[in-house]
Chain A
Amino acid sequence: MVTSTRAERVSVAFVKLTDTLVADYDVVDLLHILVEESVSLLDVAAAGLLLADPSGELQVVASTSEQSQLVEVLQLQAGAGPCVECYLTGTAVAVDDVAGLTKWLEFRDATLSQGFRSLHAVPMRVHGRTIGAMGLFGAQPGFLTRQDAAIGQALADVATISLMQERTIREAVLVNEQLQLALNTRVLIEQAKGVIAHTAGVDMDAAFNLLRSHARANSQSLHATAGRIVDRSLTIQGRQL
């Protein structure tokens, strides 16, 4: 059995994220890697990422599951909850026991109903500006260890740098361009999921997996693949059994 130390696994995760610096990367793909690596490395059960849209409202851009329940819990926080507070203050927000919350009651109930008991929200920061937040959900009450919290923030920082790396981002306008690209890709992916759901006769979660597998197998970005599905130049069938 091959085992690896935590330090090795952490460095592999960083390499994966920074690989996107050179590869034909895709913003949403990068953010999916971020949430997946966070869940595999840290003591958390699920993760999701929210970015601010042009009106300042947070939108779910990536999550470890495309199941609507997780997405809804995440999006619920966009109105009021730990992630929006994290985004507004630019600092991490930790809720060690969701059941004990006396505010954000809608968020509390939705989170508990999905089997999550704790939440750690990490800011996505670039040049002193916060562009979004990553929410890490725990299956048990309790805070993340200091080390886990530090690794979570470091992963988010590397992902933010990668996300913004296209140019030396000095102007706020370029940050906005990248943000809009991420949000647009997310919308395009949702539209493509709808097309696949219809043509392949599968649910939305399976549609996303088909989309992602196809993009990977053909070394294409999620954005490009989703675009071809929506303009109907590419048709993805369900898995052949």
Chain B
Amino acid sequence: MDIAPDVAAGEEDVCAPYLAKLPITGAAVSLFGGAAAETMVSASDELAARLDELQFNLGEGPRWRAHKTRLPVLVPDAQSAAAHEWPMFQQAIVGTDAAALFVFPLTVGAVDLGVVELYHSVPGNLNRSDQSMAAVLAGQTSWYLLRKILNVSSPDTDPALEPALMSRREIHQATGMVLAQSGATAAESLLMLRAYAFANDLTLKETAAAVLAGGLSFDTAGSGAVGPALQ
């Protein structure tokens, strides 16, 4: 249930807009790939990639807070030892070019898609206007990633023939039903739908329709049933 490889394939440079429009040095877009596995989609330089990897390996850092709170995390002085919240990570980045860190969550509705992590070689905060710009860019990245995730699951469908959200609305509704049935998060529910579609050679739209019609349930509270069941 890893969404990243397909999404990363033939990727446009998702980091470029951040570098073009914000006073930053590097950017990384990291996508949550289900349970604990995560895969970097794109990083503009080695340090940006390393900052993400460090936080992932250490299990601490601003990216985790952004994920947990679904809010931006701004660290204008990342080299200062005052960053008690993530001591190991703080220790690890001493002496690097990461003078300031800004992490923005990538979300659509209740689905947590990932985070975008920005660093600047100069300490100091983003001003209000730059924060707005970063939030808008993060929104654009989120919609772009969601579109990719929804599209890759139905390679047999000509996107030009399929009026977009008409099907996606059903997918969001089905995500809600699966979430209620399984107790999983919205992102996990979307991935379960997607995995089921793949495994059964269905489009995501067909899978969502089956859930809405009550013919497919992801209810795990039942009598020892394992996995989704067609009824």
Contact = CB atoms under 8 A, between A and B. Distances in A.
A55 B108 contact: no
Given A72-B166, A75-B163, A195 B176 contact: yes
Contacts of B166: 71-72, 75-76
A191 B176 contact: yes
A194 B174 contact: yes
Contacts of A188: 109-110
Nearest to B134: A173
B172 interface: yes
B173 A190 contact: yes
A173 B143 contact: no
B175 interface: yes
A198 B180 contact: yes
Q: Is the interface of A mostly helix, strand, loop or mixed?
A: helix
A200 B72 CA distance: 35
Interface stretch (A32-40, A97-105, A174-182, A212-220): A174-182
Interface in B179-214: 179-181, 183, 186, 212
B172 A176 contact: no
Contact of B186 (A54, A184, A191, A204): A191
B12 to A, nearest CB: 12
Nearest to A230: B110
Contact of A180 (B111, B139, B173, B176): B139
B177 interface: yes
Contact of B180 (A57, A75, A173, A199): A199
B132 A171 contact: yes
B166 to A, nearest CB: 4
A60 interface: yes
Nearest to B178: A194
A30 interface: no
Interface string A48-70: 00000111010110000000100
B135 A177 contact: yes
B133 interface: yes
A184 B170 CA distance: 15
B136 A191 contact: no
Q: Is the interface of B mostly helix, strand, loop or mixed?
A: helix
Interface residues of B, number: 34
B165 interface: yes
Contacts of A224: none
B164 interface: yes
B109 A60 contact: no
A191 B165 CA distance: 13
Given A54-B140, A187-B108, A230 B176 contact: yes
A187 B177 contact: no
Contacts of A184: 107-109, 139
Contact of A191 (B132, B143, B175, B181): B175
Given A173-B133, A174-B132, A53 B143 contact: yes
A194 B129 contact: no
Contacts of A177: 132, 135-136, 139
A78 B165 contact: yes
Interface in B76-102: none
17 contacts: A53-B143, A57-B165, A59-B165, A72-B163, A75-B165, A75-B169, A76-B163, A79-B163, A187-B111, A190-B169, A190-B176, A191-B173, A194-B179, A194-B180, A197-B176, A230-B109, A230-B110
Given A59-B164, A204-B173, 17 more contacts: A54-B143, A54-B144, A68-B170, A75-B163, A75-B164, A75-B166, A78-B163, A79-B164, A184-B107, A188-B109, A190-B176, A191-B110, A191-B111, A191-B175, A194-B180, A194-B212, A198-B177
The 8 residue pairs across chains A and B that have the minimum distance between CB atoms: A194-B176, A187-B109, A190-B172, A198-B180, A180-B139, A191-B176, A75-B166, A194-B173
Interface of A: 53-55, 57, 59-60, 68, 71-72, 75-76, 78-79, 171, 173-174, 176-177, 180, 183-184, 186-188, 190-199, 204, 227, 230-232
